[in-house]
Amino acid sequence: MIFIQPKATDAALHFASEEYCMTALGQTQDVFMLWQTDCCAMLGSNQIAQDEIDLSLAKQHNVQIVRRASGGGTIYTDQGTLLCTLITPFSHGDDAKEIGRTRLAEPLIMALEKMGIHAEIKGRNDMLLDGKKISGLAQRLGKNCLCSHCSLLFDTDISVLEKILTVDESKIKSKGISSIRSRVTNIREHLLKKYTTQEFKALLIQALSEIMPMEMYAFSQEELAQIEKIRVEKYANPLWTYRTNSSFTHHSEKRLPLGKIEVYLEIKEGSIHSCSIRGDFLSIKPIEEFENTLTGKAFDKDALSACLNTVDLLPYLGGITAEEFLSVLFS
């Protein structure tokens, strides 16, 4: 396994680095990255920026807004947050969720255990400490590789997180909690010795290196140039970050056990002319592929049910079933 520890704090650059590693390094070997950002709100790939973030407050607090290519919900990170990325070779038939759990989440839990922190994996993608969230895992598939990444709340400014993230009330209620603050916690609050973020980072690297031996790797100038190109063209591009839905005549939404789904359809002469699917469900493949499958189909429950039976929905909807998806469309 190679270990990359970038010094930059631009989230768009880090996501570009992930994408570069997925095409150039991660198809034949494991790649682990540990990174930090300045104040940043990270949208899931299928979310709408203005629905998830108070854009005005984010601007006031100098919070960078980026969209990642993995599914799930919006998170807030700053210099008190550590972000971990694992890119592994992936073959047809491999279990992405199991790889994320055993290759990334469990080693992190073991490393935290070495520091006296007793965390656990719970729910669809959460890492909890004393019943509160310290991390969430998201994934995306590439060609012959899988990217799993997560954040670790160590000394994150939760007051800013609360201000700028617009949390869906249905999600709060589904968790049986009253607010964001009651759901999340910082690791630092649970330590007897109050390490700085950099001290904790060094301890985490040491603990992880004992669990999964790593060899340091630094990007060459040529690689950095390719990464910068990806950053400019995609992750720092407002068209990617703030993409919106096209015109639609039909809108439906529902919170399901595995995430919220919103469907926007433009229906012409009884058929789906265009389709946009949004939400915090844990997709690992581009949702546009699934949207294209639905485009041109008759807007009819039986016809769409037959269509869905021909599609492997797991990588697109993160475990949401065809029956559940139809219940959203025809609710």
Query: Could you give the residue ranges of the DSSP H alpha helices within the chain?
Result: 11-24, 49-52, 55-60, 96-99, 106-114, 158-164, 169-174, 197-211, 221-230, 238-241, 287-294, 301-308, 314-317, 322-329
Please check whether residues 222 and 265 belong to one and the same domain.
Answer: no
Pair (70, 166) in one structural domain: yes
Same domain for 151 and 22 = yes
Report the alpha-carbon angle 178-183-189, nearest 5. Answer: 130
- CATH number (domain holding residue 308): 3.30.390.50
Q: Whole-number mean pLDDT of the chain?
A: 93
Q: Are residues 237 and 115 in the same domain?
A: yes
Mean pLDDT of 160-176: 70
Least confident of 11-15, 109-113, 191-195: 191-195
- pTM over 0.85? The answer is yes
Would you say residue 124 has pLDDT above 50? yes
Domain boundary among 241, 261, 278: 241
Q: What percent of the chain has pLDDT over 70?
A: 95
Do 98 and 128 fall into the same domain? yes
Containing structural domain, residue 287: 250-329
Q: Tell me how far apart the alpha carbons of residues 243 and 43 are, in angstroms, rounded to a whole number.
A: 11
- Give the integer Cα–Cα distance in Å for 231 and 50: 22
Q: Is a pLDDT exceeding 60 seen at residue 147?
A: yes
CATH number where 71 lies = 3.30.930.10
pLDDT at position 123 = 83
pLDDT at 161: 92
Q: How far is CA 180 from the centre of its chain?
A: 18
Last residue of a domain, one of 241, 267, 292: 241
Coil, strand, or helix at residue 12? helix
Number of domains in the chain: 2
At a CB cut-off of 8 Å and minimum separation 6, what does 40 contact? 11, 63, 64, 65, 66, 76, 77, 78
User: Does the pLDDT of residue 325 top 60, yes or no?
Assistant: yes
Phi, psi of 243 (to 5 degrees): -60, 145
Is the same domain home to 208 and 277? no
Query: 195 and 303: one domain?
Result: no
In the prediction, which pLDDT does 181 show? Answer: 53
What pLDDT, on the 0 to 100 scale, is given for residue 261? 96
Same domain as 319, residue 178: no
Q: What is the pLDDT of residue 74?
A: 95
pLDDT digits (tens, 9 = 90+) for 197-239: 999 999 999 999 999 999 999 999 999 999 999 999 999 999 9
- Are 78 and 188 members of one domain? yes
Q: Are residues 110 and 230 in the same domain?
A: yes
Residues 248-289 pLDDT 10s: 999 999 999 999 999 999 999 999 999 999 999 999 999 999
226 shares its domain with 254:
no
Residues in the chain: 331
> Could you tell me which of 305, 323, 304 has the C-alpha nearest to residue 254?
323
Q: Between β-strands 215-216 and 2-4, what pairing exists: parallel, antiparallel or unpaired?
A: parallel
pLDDT at 176 over 60: no
Last residue of a domain, one of 207, 241, 275: 241
> Are 214 and 84 in a shared domain?
yes
pLDDT confidence of residue 281: 95
